[in-house]
A and B are shown apart, each in its own frame.
Chain A
Amino acid sequence: MIRLSGRLRSSLIIGLQGIRARKLRTLLSMVSLFLGVLAVVTVQAGSVIAQRALLADLELQRGKDGTLLMYLPSEQGASAITLDAVAGRDDAVAMTRAQAIIGEPGLRPVNEGGVPIDQAGYGPPPQMVCDDHGNCVEQSEQDDEPKPVGQAVELSLIGITGDVREFRPFRLESGEFVDFDSAPSLAPRLVINKHAAEAFAAYSVPAEMRITGASANPTPLIVGVVDDGGWGPTAYVRADELLNWTEPAGLSDPNYGGGIELLASPTATDLEQILRSRFAANDIPTEFQVETIDSLEQMGSQISLMRWIFLGMAALVLLIGVAGILNVGLATVGERVEEFALRRAVGTPRFLLAGIVLAETLLTGLLTAAAAIGAGVVGLEAASRLFASREPFLANVAFPWEAGVAGVIAGLVAGILGGLIPAIRAARIPIATVMRA
């Protein structure tokens, strides 16, 4: 232990003396390496940030990695069976989808068809009516008097049987999420997404909620706003609160897909079996679709090719830096031949000298890595401040630790590549040099 630390301390002193005697050289090799390490750090940081943004979007829109996704029918009592099957389970959530209009009675919604509010006015695509011969005509307004437009918003109404955020991490923007602990309320409590919130901000207060097939029009209560990654106005509500107003089958509007989406954790493997057997017992088709969400894999193929191309270019720049450090290292060893021979003559072991040379370049590499990582952090901070308004994904981005690790590894690898050959040369200098010089 004492011998080792004596060696370590000796090499520290010798190494620092060497660096101090050649400050300019050390600086020059750092400069030659800096751009290479910076390139690696930048590529890594960029791809991690892009990946994070993509993954967050994918998770919002589809669900977390590994989540089981089932598309179930809603006809012939399938809705009731499904709602019953997930009741009381905390590893699965069913989502029904209907269309609702919230606003003053008797008005046409401003965004007919539930389109985003900034696209309102174009309306839904015209319905075609075809006769037996295949001649199709555009369906004309059925009502003699079209309802006047205004003060109502059409949106997707998603009934949920549990907290979906377990599977799709909606970001709460204000208020709170649907509460499943209390008893179901007669006035359905809605959590709306950002698009719906925009619509309501522009078009007044909700008064009543019209749901196709409902027994009456309840008065909804908006309790929160979330970012759900979706594109159109949407509201989330406890399915059991909707059931006060409509039959289970009415939760799913056949005009908008009509099925029930079921999200389950990867461990809930029994659910599929239960549903299939109960469906079969009730003569409901059992060939529903089941898939597992693999966001990472889906995204990986999108990003990895670009990332490898950029990393390849960064490696090339790094290689130029290594050549620089190697060049300086070899020149330095050439200059220090006599010093090394002398040090060996006074008893310094050759491996210690090799270690010192290697340690000097490693230190240079690490210092460079620290400088490049620092530049990366500062650069990202600056980019985030300057461009966050134009590129929202740049807002509040943290410097990815993966980029820091990549920078340190690049610095270490460059130090080893650039220092190894000079170190071996240093160890091979014959001591007799001091007598023949």
Chain B
Amino acid sequence: MTLIQLTGVTKTLRGQDEARTILSGVDLTLEPGESVAVLGRSGSGKSTLLSLIGLFDRPDGGQYLLGGKDITRVPERRAAALRSAEFGFVFQRFFLLKHLTALQNVSMALVNGQGWLPRRKRRTTAMEALERLEIGHLARHKPPRLSGGEQQRVAIARALVRRPKILLADEPTGALDTDTGNLVVEALRATTDEGCALVLVTHDRDHAAKMSRVARLTDGVLA
């Protein structure tokens, strides 16, 4: 079944004085295990699109189906539950909490008021996620003592810990050097082998080429 289906999605953002239409009719379908690279100039609305898919925000027009269900106008309460259960997020900056260890940073996605896992279960689940990204040995380290690539992999582990159906990554390699970036993109792509869908926003054509599809956002339309 189609995992995600966007039809004619529009979004207008209100700036200082005049409103600007960022997305003017985006169509996008995504099947389980599929990966899409989204390219586009800076300011073209890539992050805005990702924030609609990830239910950070709602579209102004069009339709958004998730697993066949219309969630175009889903209320915030339900959206929070969906973000927790269906989506994983990776950002350009890693957003790890400095005062927590790598392991705690991963299990913090399990402590979000959506269901409850006992402490021991949280630890093993988070540890598995770290080990999938081959950084289990860093579990006790706090972020300031990790390299950029290690931090981003902790962030990916955090995104994967609830085994989401869709992984959304917004320029995850933007702050990394080429080799580390390649490593991170490969880690993201590997999740699609297990049936996870991936949307990767990137400026890097090589990274884009590793996805099953490439789409370009120009003038508010995805082509």
Contacts and interface: CB of A to CB of B under 8 A. Distances in A.
Interface of A: 2-3, 5-7, 9-11, 13-14, 17, 20-21, 338-339, 342-350, 352, 430-432, 434-437
B116 A5 contact: yes
Contact of A13 (B50, B99, B111): B111
Contacts of A338: 95
Contacts of B158: 346
Nearest to A22: B99
A344 B80 contact: yes
B95 A431 contact: no
Contacts of A431: 51, 56-57
Leading 5 A-B pairs by shortest Cβ distance: A347-B84, A6-B116, A21-B99, A431-B56, A348-B112
A6 B121 CA distance: 14
Contact of A342 (B54, B80, B85, B95): B95
A343 B99 contact: no
B51 A435 contact: yes
B34 interface: no
21 contacts: A5-B116, A9-B116, A10-B112, A10-B113, A17-B100, A344-B83, A345-B54, A346-B109, A347-B81, A347-B85, A347-B113, A347-B114, A348-B114, A349-B113, A349-B114, A350-B80, A352-B113, A430-B57, A432-B47, A434-B89, A435-B51
Nearest to A18: B99
B85 A345 contact: no
A6 B83 contact: no
A345 B116 contact: no
A347 B56 contact: no
A436 B116 contact: no
Contact of B112 (A343, A434, A436, A437): A343
Nearest to B115: A6
Contacts of A349: 76-77, 80, 113-114
Contacts of B92: 435
A20 B47 contact: no
Contacts of A13: 111
Given A346-B83, A349-B80, A431-B51, A17 B99 contact: yes
Interface in B109-141: 109, 111-116
A434 B99 contact: no
B150 interface: no
Interface of B: 47, 50-51, 54, 56-57, 76-77, 80-85, 89, 91-93, 95, 97, 99-100, 104, 108-109, 111-116, 158, 170
Contacts of A21: 99
The listed residue with most B CB atoms (<10 A of its CB), out of A10, A17, A342, A344, is A342
Contacts of A437: 93, 95
Given A432-B47, A434-B89, 13 more contacts: A7-B113, A9-B116, A17-B99, A17-B104, A339-B97, A344-B80, A345-B54, A346-B108, A348-B113, A430-B57, A432-B57, A434-B93, A435-B47
Nearest to A431: B56
Contact of B56 (A2, A14, A343, A430): A430
Contacts of A430: 56-57
B146 to A, nearest CB: 17
Contact of B115 (A3, A339, A344, A346): A3
A6 B84 CA distance: 14
Contact of B116 (A2, A14, A348, A432): A2
A342 B81 CA distance: 14
Nearest to B54: A345
Contacts of B77: 349
A430 B51 CA distance: 11
Contacts of A344: 80, 83
A144 to B, nearest CB: 102
Contacts of B91: 434-435
Nearest to B117: A6
A21 B105 CA distance: 14
B99 A347 contact: no
B115 A432 contact: no
Contacts of A347: 80-85, 109, 112-114
The listed residue with most B CB atoms (<10 A of its CB), out of A7, A13, A17, A347, is A347
B50 A435 contact: yes
B89 A345 contact: yes
A377 B111 CA distance: 40
Nearest to A343: B112
B5 to A, nearest CB: 22
A121 B214 CA distance: 116
A290 to B, nearest CB: 67
A18 B131 CA distance: 27
A7 to B, nearest CB: 4
Contacts of A20: 99
B110 to A, nearest CB: 9
Contacts of A342: 95, 97
Contacts of B114: 6, 347-349
Contacts of A3: 115
A414 B117 CA distance: 34
Contact of A10 (B80, B100, B116): B116
B89 A14 contact: no
A24 to B, nearest CB: 13
A354 to B, nearest CB: 12
A427 to B, nearest CB: 10
Nearest to A437: B93
Contact of A346 (B47, B89, B100, B116): B89
A361 B29 CA distance: 46
Contacts of B100: 17
Contacts of B85: 347
The listed residue with most A CB atoms (<10 A of its CB), out of B56, B97, B109, B113, is B113
